[in-house]
Amino acid sequence: MNILDKIIADKHKELLLKKLVVPVSQLENSALFKRETVSLANALRESKSGIIAEHKRRSPSKSIINQSLNIEDVARGYERAGVSGMSVLTDGKYFGGSLDDLLYARAAVKMPILRKEFIIDEYQLLEAKAHGADVILLIAAVLEREQIKQLSEFAKNLGLDVLLEVHNEEELKKSIMPSLDMLGVNNRNLKTFKVSTQISKDLSEKIPDDFVKVSESGISSAEAIKELKQYGYEGFLIGENFMKTNNPGENAKKFIEELSS
């Protein structure tokens, strides 16, 4: 059983408990549920940098990244830096995140916020909407085509943008459908955790132009982004590169300035 299998097995257990504690009606009646969302796909199309900056305390591959920062400060710093959107990890057991992180980030900034989570159930989409997310992530490696269709259509009905993440051509082929806004290529091999942007380059021509192309993981230099832009990528998810510093916002600002130089 690889790490992704373990996470999904735990997610099923977690969801059983959550549904008992917080009914759907409570989520639908929350103050943020009727909020009009902001499109990350549109923000990326209009952005010069295309940076989606992430808040991530730890990960299975890197253990602790940064647990000392206030998420509201991080969110404001990212927004001041001029990023296109923010990704907030809400998984607790493996990444040290929570739905409260989403609420605090939403209270602090106006930019699009992605709920980064291992989504397997419509309930999690209702949670995302109720806690102020604009975008949700679906991971092709853990979902069948029919599940991707069902979840992405449900998300669109809630007014949420959908970013679908793939790791290889097989996942990409099963996933292409009109209910997606963005197709993300994760540069991290899930089996070895090795990272290479070559996979983004290899898959770029196979992603139809209807979708905003996003490259995820292992992007640590302005040069890497400039290169990936030549392959049609408009979005770049960066987490550890900013979060491992004492001031993620300031580092994001310097990174974006470097990009435009």
**Mean pLDDT of the region 73-78:** 98
54 is catalytic: yes
Catalytic residue among 11, 56, 129, 213: 56
Identify whether the C-beta of residue 113 lies closer than 8 Å to the C-beta of residue 102.
Answer: yes
117 is catalytic: no
19 is catalytic: no
Catalytic residue among 79, 117, 127, 165: 165
Confidence at 12, pLDDT banded by 50, 70, 90: very high
Helix, strand, coil percentages, rounded to 5, for the chain? 45, 20, 40
Average pLDDT over the chain, rounded to whole? Answer: 95
Rounded to the nearest 10 degrees, the angle between the axes of helix 248-260 and helix 71-81 is 20
56 is catalytic: yes
* Phi, psi at 85, each rounded to 5°: -170, 170
pTM for this entry: 0.96
Catalytic residue among 54, 79, 117, 127: 54
Identify whether the C-beta of residue 215 lies closer than 8 Å to the C-beta of residue 237.
Answer: yes
Q: Strand (E) positions, the chain?
A: 51-55, 58-59, 63-64, 85-89, 113-116, 135-139, 161-166, 182-186, 212-216, 233-238
Provide the percentage of residues in the chain whose pLDDT is more than 90: 88
Predicted local confidence at residue 1, as pLDDT: 66
169 is catalytic: no
258 is catalytic: no
Tell me how far apart the alpha carbons of residues 213 and 234 are, in angstroms, rounded to a whole number.
6
Question: What is the per-residue pLDDT across 140-177, written as a single tens digit (0 to 9) for each?
Answer: 999 999 999 999 999 999 999 999 999 999 999 999 99
70 is catalytic: no
Catalytic residue among 49, 87, 187, 217: 217
Catalytic residue among 87, 186, 200, 215: 186
Question: Taking the alpha carbons of 203, 221, 229, 71 in that order, is the dihedral positive or negative?
Answer: positive
Q: What's 236's DSSP letter?
A: E
